[in-house]
């Protein structure tokens, strides 16, 4: 996947926000694990979900955790029926394949790492309209629903999900049908988009990226993602880090995730140090981009929770200290297709 | 006589008397991608060739711009403060970045001609 195609990052970004764009994210890891009680028990040592209790045909954002509560990866997990069998389907980061696949090898049985399927994301407000001309898509499919549908006599695993803050879909499609499918889609006023706008779209939407906001030394609670933990998993030791997470939940947070916008024109970059008025370092920027919607640089960062939230924050850009405003995350309103009355 | 030469850092330098107008080449703007901000140099700053003088921020990365020649910054392209994308649209004319009153015009002769720059890009 290139940084951008011929339209450039900003144009690709705006196409996804206003119409629709396609991301070929086939580099990501996909695995099917038979839904057996043994496999569930093994996975639940690392994953803070109650897999028996989660509804089928729904994607769940979760994590693979180490014994300190650190995040080995963030994942999308769902229970699906595929060729008449029930499976746990997990999509994971390509940069974490070796770490995760080692864990799967040691813990679960009869799994299949999917190598014969592409993963294609169609994102943007026009994605439903464009896709329904090619696929038999249900109107009732809402944000985070997942199902298996037929395309060209093969099964497509399709979820209404994505990584942009927009309505959209992710499709796991057999390799030999992917090119024909993409060619059809590209005739629908949708353009191919690259990694550059994939990053600027997710930063605007305030979504975490492995290696930036989250890593092996940060827990979901420290990363402001405790909403994704099933708290009933913390009452016993079946999750490998339940006592550490419980302790973190019950103590004041050590770091806080914040959104940042510079007061004057400058560009924030990941890893730039954040300072207080006395120019003492109090944190760092984890992600940043130029926001084509807000037309300025935006950033996500962590600051020590002990620092006074009302104080002015600066970032050191080369030899200058630039003043920052704290902004709410996400920077834009998310545009998901929810099934509620406000939809 | 107005003459235009190029540096290995992908800048163009147009010399008119002892006044050098400097920008980045079309090749440079294409590789940088969408340019969103330029930290312009301060007028009056005295520089030596190869000194870092300003920074171009594109959606991809920050890139240092070096002075191609010894001298003093005499003017900056203020239009770029609000419209950095002008460098993408017209890198080698309207998208000029700064002017330098040159103290050592001999240095200009050491820069590359267009033919030499194009050959440099090939390699």
CATH class of B10-108: mainly beta
What is the ipTM for the molecules in this complex?
0.83
Positions in chain A whose pLDDT score sits under 70:
306-310, 340-343
The CA distance from A188 to A261, in Å, is 36
Residue A123 three-state SS: strand
Give the closest of B34, B57, B62 to A10, CB-based: B34
* pLDDT tens figures, B39-48: 999 999 999 9
Tell me chain B's radius of gyration from C-alpha atoms.
13
B81 to A3: CB separation less than 8 angstroms, yes or no: no
What is the residue extent of each domain of chain A? Answer: 9-204, 253-327
What is the residue extent of each domain of chain B? Answer: 10-108
The CA distance from A259 to A114, in Å, is 36
Interface of B with A in 23-62 (CB under 8 A): 33-34, 36-37, 39, 55, 57, 59-60, 62
Strand partners, A168: A123
Mean pLDDT of B106-123: 95
Report the gap between the CA of B112 and the closest CA in chain A (Å).
30
B36 to A290: CB separation less than 8 angstroms, yes or no: yes
The CA distance from A150 to A335, in Å, is 27
Taking residue A271's Cβ as centre, other Cβ atoms within 10 Å add up to 11
Taking residue B84's Cβ as centre, other Cβ atoms within 10 Å add up to 21
Contacts of B62 in chain A (CB under 8 A): 267, 269
**Do the domains spanning A9-204 and A253-327 agree at the CATH topology level?**
no
Q: What is the rounded (10 degree) CA torsion for A296, A302, A308, A312?
A: -20
Interface of A with B in 209-268 (CB under 8 A): 265-267
Kindly state the tokens that stand for B75: 């003017």
Contacts of A114 (CB under 8 A, 6+ apart): A30, A31, A32, A172
Report the gap between the CA of A269 and the closest CA in chain B (Å).
9
Check: CB of residue A8 under 8 Å from CB of residue A2. no
pLDDT for A343: 35
CATH topology of domain A253-327: Elongation Factor Tu (Ef-tu); domain 3 (2.40.30)
Tally of helices (H runs) and strands (E runs) in chain B: 5, 9
Pinpoint the alpha helices (H) of A229-340: 242-250
φ and ψ of A161, to 5 deg: -155, 180
The CA distance from A57 to A79, in Å, is 6
* pLDDT tens figures, B12-54: 999 999 999 999 999 999 999 999 999 999 999 999 999 999 9
The CA distance from A206 to A287, in Å, is 10
* pLDDT tens figures, B76-106: 999 999 999 999 999 999 999 999 999 999 9
The superfamily CATH assigns to domain A9-204 is Probable tRNA modification gtpase trme; domain 1 (3.30.1360.120)
Which residue, B117, B36, B40, is CA-closest to B74?
A: B40
């Amino acid at each position: 996947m290139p940084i951008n195609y011929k339209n450039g990052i900003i144009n690709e970004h705006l196409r996804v926000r206003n119409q629709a764009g396609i991301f070929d994210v086939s580099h990501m890891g996909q695995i099917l694990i038979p839904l057996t009680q043994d496999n569930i028990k093994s996975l639940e040592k690392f994953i803070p979900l109650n897999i028996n209790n989660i509804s089928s045909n729904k994607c769940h954002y979760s994590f693979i955790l180490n014994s300190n509560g650190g995040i080995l990866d963030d994942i999308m997990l769902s229970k699906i029926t595929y060729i008449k069998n029930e499976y746990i389907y997990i999509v994971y980061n390509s940069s974490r394949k070796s770490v995760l696949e080692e864990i799967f090898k040691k813990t679960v049985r009869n799994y299949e790492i999917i190598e014969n399927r592409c993963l294609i994301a169609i994102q943007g407000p026009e994605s439903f309209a464009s896709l329904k001309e090619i696929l038999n898509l249900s109107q009732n499919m809402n944000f985070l629903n997942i199902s298996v549908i037929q395309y060209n006599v093969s099964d497509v695993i399709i979820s209404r999900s994505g990584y942009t803050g927009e309505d959209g879909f992710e499709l796991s499609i057999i390799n030999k049908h992917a090119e024909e499918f993409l060619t059809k889609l590209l005739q629908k006023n949708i353009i191919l988009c690259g990694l550059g706008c994939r990053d600027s779209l997710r930063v605007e939407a305030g979504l975490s990226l492995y290696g930036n906001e989250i890593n092996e030394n940060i827990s979901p609670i420290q990363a402001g993602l405790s909403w994704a933990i099933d708290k009933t998993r913390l009452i016993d030791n079946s999750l490998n880090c339940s006592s550490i997470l419980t302790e973190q939940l019950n103590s004041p947070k050590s770091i806080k995730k914040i959104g940042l916008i510079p007061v004057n024109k400058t560009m924030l970059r990941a890893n730039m140090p954040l300072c207080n008025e006395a120019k003492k370092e109090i944190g760092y920027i984890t992600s940043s981009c130029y926001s084509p919607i807000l037309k300025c640089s935006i950033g996500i960062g962590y600051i020590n929770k002990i620092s006074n939230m009302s104080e002015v924050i600066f970032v050191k850009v080369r030899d200058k200290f630039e003043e920052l405003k704290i902004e709410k995350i996400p920077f834009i309103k998310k545009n998901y297709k929810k099934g509620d009355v406000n939809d | 006589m107005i003459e235009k030469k190029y540096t290995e850092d992908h800048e163009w330098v147009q010399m008119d008397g002892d006044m050098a107008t400097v920008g980045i080449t079309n090749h440079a703007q294409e590789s940088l991608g969408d340019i969103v901000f330029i930290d312009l140099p301060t007028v009056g700053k005295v520089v030596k060739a190869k000194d870092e003088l300003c920074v171009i921020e594109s959606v991809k990365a920050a890139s240092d711009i070096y002075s191609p020649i010894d001298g003093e910054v005499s003017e900056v392209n203020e239009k770029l403060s609000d419209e950095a994308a002008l460098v993408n649209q017209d890198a080698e004319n309207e998208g000029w970045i700064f002017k330098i009153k040159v103290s050592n015009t001999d240095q200009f002769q050491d820069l590359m001609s267009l033919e030499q720059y194009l050959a440099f890009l090939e390699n």
